[in-house]
Structure 1
Amino acid sequence: MTDLDIAAPLAAALAAKGYESLTPVQTAVLAPEVAGRDVLVSAQTGSGKTVAFGIAMAPEVLAGADRLLFADVPLALIIAPTRELAQQVARELTWLYAETGAQIATCVGGMDYRTEKRTLDRGAHIVVGTPGRLRDHIERGSLDLSNLKAAVLDEADEMLDLGFREDLEFILQSAPDTRRTMMFSATVPKAIAELAKDFQRDALRLQTAGEAKQHVDIEYRALNVSARDKEHAIFNMLRYYEARTAIVFCKTRMAVNHLLARMGNRGFQVVALSGELSQTERMHALQALRDGRARVCIATDVAARGIDLPGLELVIHADLPTNSETLLHRSGRTGRAGQKGVSALIVAPAEFRKAQRLLQGAKVVAEWAKAPSADEVQERDDARLLEHPSLLEAPGDEMTLAQTLIERFSPEHIAAAFVRLWREGRSAPEVLQDMATPGQPAAPRERGEFGESVWFTLSVGHSGRAEARWLLPKLCDAVGITKTEIGAIRVQTDETFVQIAKSVAGKFGAAMEIEEGVSMRRLDGEPTLERPERAPARKPAARDRSDRPAYAPKPSRFVEDGEEAAPRKPYAKREDSAPRPYVKREEGDRKPYTPREDGERKPYAKREDSERKPFVKREDGDRKPWAPRNDGPKPAYAPRDDAAPRKPYAKREDGDRKPYAKRDDADRKPYAPREEGAKRPYAPRAAADGAASADRKPRWKEGDKPAGDKPFGAKAPRSAGFKTHGGAEGKPARAAGFKSHSSEGKSFGKPGAKAKPAPAPRDAKDTSKRFVPPKKK
């Protein structure tokens, strides 16, 4: 590393970490043509991308110095898609920049916002975070990117695929345009490369050596299993390899929880990673994997993105990934730093073609094979027992107890006990169904002899809609036998014959009823199953074709050169019983079509702007004065002359007001209830409508009664010009007894009271009673 341009503090940290040489991606970012430029780097997972962009952004962060001073605003920003990856990047940069005194802060979702804000306020040179939490800090003003020198997008394709594009645009727009933007990812499809152009300027594309041959340290295996044996194949794979750490990928959280419960019941040391877990639960799960307390991790694609598990040797795809890029990202969890790993795809028969397309898109070659059987798992387990380190070490202090065991028990007994203890804490292997090799038809199964059997007849057949798949579970449940003890099932029209093994035939007895309406009876021998003979098919009678003329081929329409075409048969119009009204028009009667020449068309003349009449703004004095419309009896509107003298406003003094005198209660007339006998008896009016009763006091007085010849009690006409509830003038008013705006001709109160006269209409020119505000001084 002496010939590479690496900052001295970072070179010392790499040497202390044990780096003797750099990986291809780390060497590529230190090339002279890359210095200061935006780059888009693609390298396989586990190739050291974190250290690569750590040393690549050192010139912008250190600026030639070996020791950093206090920084009030960040100098570098690293954006990661998940919380685990952000924390992992922060741990890597901590030891890499330890000699420079750089302060590194993390801003990830699920952590305490106030703690992160205090760390940013104290000053941080490098900030690592997720898009959502970084945007939150920028909007609240706790993160200032005005002096940002370098921005790194780790796993850029995953962030764009997960919908972080809007957050990324907001974050990068908050940083100065002079920043250096670097994108690192395992795969860079064409669509992702187009999207990256929006975030970078004249980016340099770096494709490290070995990317064309993806993951050379990973062994890909495709296991062909039946649909019902997918979980059993996963258990056998984990038992066969006994990896230090293994990860199983599922599509959904529900699948993760289901598989977690199944594996926990079988004794596997397993944890789960999914989006429904809190940050504390996720950290505890990852710590259990690093400490060795758990050996299997079940996770979804998003939850496991970017995590680095030490000693990860096995990756199992319980559910096939959606695309080839996801397959590479899943498999890239293993085979890191030169270590070997296995990536196994569990493929059901219905997913065979999809698995082939995924492997071809990822440009990897997988070995198609069967899942490890129970015998293979047991054989591999026994081999590990014989190679156990305890058997290879020389006896020590435990020799005294070992001698006592030999004296008390035989060596065979002690060895058998050791084997039982070895197998006790491990899940028993599963027996899998034998599957054919993918792409080849399954060999026909040889039908062997069923053995000694007894035939039974059932009282249901095709007429009762009986089927073999419907009868089989009922026969098994009736006496508690398995389907292997049932032979042939022959369904006839009205009955069904069943073959039962002789060893269990006694359970059915001579006759029994397996279900209501379905009885079963034993036969003495084998039934005769004869198919009814079908009547021979009747051939259709041959047609008499003697009167048909012999076939003569039609002459060809194509005429060779030098030959004359044979004359066609003239057209003879068929005569019908009634003459047809259609008369064929001769060709000469048609008017020939004459296309119009372009020169005959009237040319289009565009009007020049100079020919248009210029716009002349009308002066206010040129406008026609407004004249009010005369609607008849309504007086025309006459504006008030401001020059006419107005009556001045005189404010009334408080002393001019009549003082309020409260009436004493003693002056009030006491209330005396009227005696019952004093009340006037009610006498119904016997006269005709509108006539007053002789015993009732008339409502109207002689002088107040309205003019007209209407009978007594009829509604008086309203004053002209007043609106009523019933409508405008001239329309019928409301019925008697309803309140209206007009009080003319009505009396409110007791009968006989004098009606309130209607107010006279006020003249529009009368300003004596109008309120005139005082003029401002």
Structure 2
Amino acid sequence: MRALVARGFEDLTAVQTEVASADVARDLLVSAQTGSGKTVAYGLAIGDTLLADAERLERAAEPLALVVAPTRELAMQVERELTWLFEGVGGRIVSCVGGMDPRAERRRLEGGAHIVVGTPGRLRDHIDRRALDLSQLKVVVLDEADEMLDLGFREELEFILEAMPAERRTLLFSATLPDAIVSIARRFQRDAHRIETVSDTRGHADIEHRAIRVMPRQTDAVVVNVLRQQDAAAAIVFCSTREAVRRLHQTLAKRGFSAVLLSGELGQAERNRALEEIREGRARVCVATDVAARGIDLSNVELVIHADLPHDAEVFQHRSGRTGRAGRKGVSVLLAPASRKRKAELLLSDIGANPVWSGPPSAQDIRELDEQRLHEDPAISAPAGEGELEHARALVERMGADAVAVALLRLHRARLPEPEYVQDPGEWAAPRERRAPAVGQGGVAAPFEPREPRRRADFGDSVWFRLAIGRKQNADPKWLLPMLCRRGGVTRNEIGAIRIFDRETKVSIAADAAERFEATALGSEKGDVSITRADGPDASAPAPETRTAERAWSPHPKPEFNKPERVKSGYPKRDRGNVERPNAERPMPERADAAPAFAKHRADRPVHSKPHTAKPWGARPGRAPAGEAAGAPAHGKPFRAKPAHRASGFRPAVKAAKHAAAGSKKK
């Protein structure tokens, strides 16, 4: 009690009062809101068990109490809280967390400890190496037990609980009580007293929930404006992935915010340095993932922004619990695009919050707030000192009152990040109801009445933009149109002609939407299509995507050849047109009658060979034409006589002999 009074405690929270009044011999199953003072609550329970009626603790030896936390940050926070709470009674607290030197932790354990605080993995490692002796343990605390199960520490948790003495006191604290937590409580607790300070129908009383509609690809800009509007002493922005954390942190740093990031890829020293900057006020914004931010205890956090929607209501509750801690007020802002509106409403409903949906704060609203804050700035309203007043009068006499006021206004605006231009998507329309088909007379369905076509925007004064992608990159309006709407924050009716060329594409945007499109879509990120301003395409040139039914003209037409009629034999084709009987056959002409016709056909046949290699009909390379002496050259090539084995049929005999020899070898 002396420690609580010295710390500035006037009243205990609900969970602290319930735990302090519970029986010191019973196990406890406690569910309370995040940030409701659970650490001090089970610190009081541990003190009742360890001290009993004594004024001070005995000399430290084997641990008497063990606190298991899911993350390093939460374990270190618990160590700090228990240190000042047990300092007056001689308590010694030792932490064992991942990322620290295990040899130094082993030396501290050998020196003795009353309370050990650690993460499941590191505690199991010390137990396996016999550096942590749990034989004298009187009480164990499982802090954020639901998060330990979500992170996959169930096996380590069961191993630690089984290594403890059977006669112990088990305190289980969790913001939510899923079935897995209830199962562990039934297995490792005995006649546990249930304490529940979480209401199923009411959200956290100290947190004001707000929901903001955002346009696609404007989330980062809306985060900037929300931070400028709230002007919180410290804020945490939650993202789903490490890449999103890194990208948003770079965006805020470029805008002039003093921001730090927390993700799983940072080492323990870097994480401690980032948290220390937030605590000391050197940084005002922390961009973090869900796992990295679990267990963070920053007393000055006044704002939480959900840049990405949480996966479920439990994660949403843990995120929001980073603010509004220990009776302080906080604000939780949820950003939701139109495509995720239904999920956002379900998340808010699950935690019992009923926020008012609104659009993002505009740049004009933020500038008006800046002027109001300037008038209320303590630097202006506070009384001036004697030296300051003399210097101020000298400045006014030298430069004039107007010049001094303008300089003050410029200095005030220079230290503030510039607000972003954002668009309010407006009220989301309710889903369209399906109408029953109209029925005419006699039960016959009425004729279908087509709807009026949507009117497109007036593109008399349109602005053209160039996309660095064309037909060779498979550019197609089917996916270009939704991409332009998503990146530029425009509707389909505000997009005009789309001209696709070989290596680029030009798009016309309505004049009233061009400024908005240029503010959000220009430039490119990793994997995006680069968009820049451009001049309109040549009106005299034909549209690139124009298609006609006829074949397109080509400068190199495909030649058409007149193939000659092929004759299978040397006889002329029979004319069966004058045959009287169907099966009748005309007698074959004599050879002497057919010879003149065959000679005429051979003379009329076109020659497709080159002029200098043209040969008479029937000539072949390597064979003398008929009527020439054997061995005479044919068309400039020497005549090659047929080998003797080919002429006499010797080759088949040689083949047969080879096959017979091969068969005998196989046998």
TM-score by length of 2: 0.67
C-alpha deviation, 1:88, in angstroms: 0.7
Q: What corresponds to 2:70 in structure 1?
A: 81
- Given residue 414 of structure 1, which amino acid in structure 2 is its aligned partner? V
- Given residue 472 of structure 1, which amino acid in structure 2 is its aligned partner? I
| Contact 2:29–2:194 (8 Å) recurs in 1 | yes
| Contact 2:67–2:117 (8 Å) recurs in 1 | yes
Distance 1:187 1:388 in 2: 42
Q: What corresponds to 1:697 in structure 2?
A: none
Q: What corresponds to 2:341 in structure 1?
A: 352
Q: What corresponds to 1:124 in structure 2?
A: 113
SS of residue in 1 equivalent to 2:217: helix
| Contact 1:50–1:92 (8 Å) recurs in 2 | yes
C-alpha deviation, 1:136, in angstroms: 0.7
Identical positions, percent:
52
Q: What corresponds to 2:10 in structure 1?
A: 20
Distance 1:352 1:209 in 2: 26
Question: Over alpha carbons, which structure has the higher Rg?
Answer: 1
C-alpha deviation, 1:276, in angstroms: 0.7
SS of residue in 1 equivalent to 2:293: coil
| Contact 2:65–2:115 (8 Å) recurs in 1 | yes
Higher normalized contact order (CA 8 Å, seq sep 6+, divided by chain length): 2
Task: Kindly indicate which of the two structures has a greater share of residues assigned to helix.
Answer: 2
Distance 2:534 2:428 in 1: 40
Q: What corresponds to 1:200 in structure 2?
A: 189
Residue 305, structure 1, aligned to residue 331, structure 2: no
Where does structure 1 lack aligned partners over 5 or more consecutive residues?
1-10, 455-464, 488-503, 519-777
Distance 1:466 1:180 in 2: 68
Q: What corresponds to 1:65 in structure 2?
A: 54
The equivalent position to 1:292 in structure 2, one of 281, 289, 306, is: 281
- Given residue 126 of structure 2, which amino acid in structure 1 is its aligned partner? H
SS of residue in 2 equivalent to 1:312: coil
The equivalent position to 1:102 in structure 2, one of 80, 86, 91, is: 91
Distance 2:534 2:2 in 1: 84
Distance 2:271 2:330 in 1: 24
4+ residue stretches of structure 1 with deviation over 4 A?
A: 209-212, 444-454, 465-471, 477-482, 504-510, 512-518
Distance 1:445 1:381 in 2: 42
The equivalent position to 2:263 in structure 1, one of 267, 271, 274, is: 274
Which whole-Å deviations, capped at 9, do the CAs of 1:480-514 have from their partners, x for residues lacking one? Answer: 99623599xxxxxxxxxxxxxxxx99976774589
Q: What corresponds to 2:233 in structure 1?
A: 244
| Contact 2:27–2:193 (8 Å) recurs in 1 | yes
Q: What corresponds to 1:381 in structure 2?
A: 370
Which whole-Å deviations, capped at 9, do the CAs of 1:503-528 have from their partners, x for residues lacking one? Answer: x999767745897999xxxxxxxxxx
- Given residue 327 of structure 2, which amino acid in structure 1 is its aligned partner? G
Name the CA shift for 1:483/1:473 in 2 (closer, same or farther; >3 Å). farther
C-alpha deviation, 1:474, in angstroms: 5.8
Q: What corresponds to 2:320 in structure 1?
A: 331
Name the CA shift for 1:272/1:39 in 2 (closer, same or farther; >3 Å). same
Distance 1:330 1:103 in 2: 32
The equivalent position to 1:134 in structure 2, one of 123, 131, 134, is: 123
SS of residue in 1 equivalent to 2:274: helix
Correspondence list, 1:191-230, <5 A: 191-208=180-197, 213-230=202-219
Residue 45, structure 1, aligned to residue 34, structure 2: yes
Residue 483, structure 1, aligned to residue 473, structure 2: no
| Contact 1:44–1:214 (8 Å) recurs in 2 | no
C-alpha deviation, 1:115, in angstroms: 1.0
- Given residue 77 of structure 1, which amino acid in structure 2 is its aligned partner? L
Q: What corresponds to 2:415 in structure 1?
A: 425
Distance 2:88 2:394 in 1: 59
| Contact 2:200–2:352 (8 Å) recurs in 1 | no
Residue 185, structure 1, aligned to residue 174, structure 2: yes
Distance 2:272 2:462 in 1: 63
Q: What corresponds to 1:403 in structure 2?
A: 393
- Given residue 358 of structure 2, which amino acid in structure 1 is its aligned partner? A
Q: What corresponds to 1:231 in structure 2?
A: 220
Name the CA shift for 1:180/1:486 in 2 (closer, same or farther; >3 Å). closer
SS of residue in 2 equivalent to 1:228: coil
Distance 1:120 1:95 in 2: 20
C-alpha deviation, 1:341, in angstroms: 1.0
C-alpha deviation, 1:232, in angstroms: 1.1
- Given residue 247 of structure 2, which amino acid in structure 1 is its aligned partner? H
Name the CA shift for 1:434/1:228 in 2 (closer, same or farther; >3 Å). same
The equivalent position to 2:21 in structure 1, one of 28, 31, 55, is: 31
C-alpha deviation, 1:306, in angstroms: 1.2
- Given residue 483 of structure 1, which amino acid in structure 2 is its aligned partner? I
| Contact 1:478–1:514 (8 Å) recurs in 2 | no
SS of residue in 1 equivalent to 2:302: strand
SS of residue in 2 equivalent to 1:398: helix
| Contact 2:134–2:163 (8 Å) recurs in 1 | yes
The equivalent position to 2:143 in structure 1, one of 148, 154, 162, is: 154
Name the CA shift for 1:62/1:389 in 2 (closer, same or farther; >3 Å). same
Name the CA shift for 1:482/1:235 in 2 (closer, same or farther; >3 Å). farther
SS of residue in 1 equivalent to 2:296: coil
Q: What corresponds to 2:565 in structure 1?
A: none
Name the CA shift for 1:48/1:35 in 2 (closer, same or farther; >3 Å). same
Residue 364, structure 1, aligned to residue 353, structure 2: yes
Which whole-Å deviations, capped at 9, do the CAs of 1:207-260 have from their partners, x for residues lacking one? Answer: 127675231111111111111111111111011111100001111111111111
Distance 1:516 1:369 in 2: 42
| Contact 2:72–2:119 (8 Å) recurs in 1 | yes
Which stretch shows the higher mean deviation, 57-66 or 352-361? Answer: 57-66
SS of residue in 2 equivalent to 1:472: strand
Name the CA shift for 1:379/1:111 in 2 (closer, same or farther; >3 Å). same
| Contact 2:234–2:285 (8 Å) recurs in 1 | yes
Name the CA shift for 1:515/1:311 in 2 (closer, same or farther; >3 Å). same
Distance 1:348 1:359 in 2: 15
Distance 1:248 1:194 in 2: 34
SS of residue in 2 equivalent to 1:247: strand
Give aligned pairs, total. Answer: 480
C-alpha deviation, 1:427, in angstroms: 2.1
| Contact 1:24–1:209 (8 Å) recurs in 2 | no
- Given residue 228 of structure 1, which amino acid in structure 2 is its aligned partner? R
Which whole-Å deviations, capped at 9, do the CAs of 1:264-313 have from their partners, x for residues lacking one? Answer: 11111110111111000000000000011100001111111111112111
SS of residue in 2 equivalent to 1:302: helix
Which stretch shows the higher mean deviation, 283-292 or 93-102? Answer: 93-102
Distance 2:341 2:312 in 1: 14
Which stretch shows the higher mean deviation, 394-403 or 341-350? Answer: 394-403
| Contact 1:60–1:150 (8 Å) recurs in 2 | yes
Where does structure 2 lack aligned partners over 5 or more consecutive residues?
433-452, 464-474, 482-496, 514-532, 548-667
Q: What corresponds to 1:176 in structure 2?
A: 165
Which whole-Å deviations, capped at 9, do the CAs of 1:159-215 have from their partners, x for residues lacking one? Answer: 122111111111111110101000112222344223322221221111127675231
Distance 2:40 2:354 in 1: 30
Distance 2:169 2:307 in 1: 41
| Contact 1:370–1:435 (8 Å) recurs in 2 | yes
- Given residue 418 of structure 1, which amino acid in structure 2 is its aligned partner? L
| Contact 1:28–1:208 (8 Å) recurs in 2 | no
Residue 472, structure 1, aligned to residue 472, structure 2: no
